[in-house]
Amino acid sequence: MSYALITGGSKGIGKAIAEGLAAKKYNILLVARSENLLKENAAELEKKYGVKTDFFVADISANDSAKKIADWCTTKNYDISVLVNNAGYGLGGAFSKLSLDEQLNMMQLNMQSLVQLTYLMIPVLKKNHSQHYILNVASTAAHQAVPFLGIYSATKAFVLSFSRAIHHELKTEDISVSCLCPGPTDTYFMERAGMTNFEKAAKQAERMNMSPEAVAKIALHGLFTGKLEIIPGAVNKTGAFFSRILPKKLVENTLIRVYKP
């Protein structure tokens, strides 16, 4: 079987997607910053599913990370048919109060590194097989501006728009592109985003939380059936629908009440 390359594959949704692909007998390539977690996950997947695995330790927010990852895949001559751009994070708080450097780093990881790796991996994907898949991970935050998550929601809106565009472009090259837009998921997002004091947002997330495994199962079904946009969960689908049809000001004023620290 061919390989699947998953960024941010050490925990959360990325780890669950890697396990779902291994269950389908894809060999797995994991990329993230934590060598210990990558080693542990790779060994676990090999033992549980009998697949081949490898991993590459990288800070994907670095400007040259995408080239290093693509060069590694090429040097190792891995036969890759699935690319999952999962790596990303959020920062919660007022734009003017958060560190500018941190926000720029988030933009680099969530947008530029994703675009760079997608671009560099297209020739790798096309080397073999008749069908190839790219899954870009955005968020339900992509569907509207989110005050106090302003840069994060903007980066995910970019990922969704970019994915929708290349979905149509790459059809003729036998590459199917999907975009996953999960809502609240039982991961470390809130802690990493510095949102532990966002009481209303935390309570809402607790009510709506999905497990990474449930999100991954829906994501992979959508990916392999060629679905353009994948929104796990009925509540998230409803929210995305209303964010499109309701006045933007109404949606944003509602979100202020939820996300204001």
**Kind and range of the H or E run holding 230:** strand 229-230
> What is the separation of C-alpha 136 from the centre of its chain, rounded to a whole number of angstroms?
5
Query: 69, 10, 86: which is closest to 43 by C-alpha?
Result: 10
Let me know if 49 is a catalytic residue. Answer: no
Query: 115, 140, 131, 87: which is closest to 225 by C-alpha?
Result: 131
Query: 93, 90, 121: which is closest to 107 by C-alpha?
Result: 90
What is residue 5's DSSP assignment?
E
To 10 degrees, what angle do helices 65-75 and 114-125 make?
Answer: 20
Is residue 118 a contact partner of residue 134, using CB atoms and an 8 Å limit? yes
Catalytic residue among 3, 26, 78, 152: 152
> What is the separation of C-alpha 235 from the centre of its chain, rounded to a whole number of angstroms?
20
DSSP string, 81-146: EEEEE-------S-TTTS-HHHHHHHHIIIIIIHHHHHHHHHHHHTTS-S-EEEEEE--GGGGS--
Reading the block at residue 151, the tokens are 């840069």
Beta bridge partners of 29: 5, 54
Active site residues: 152
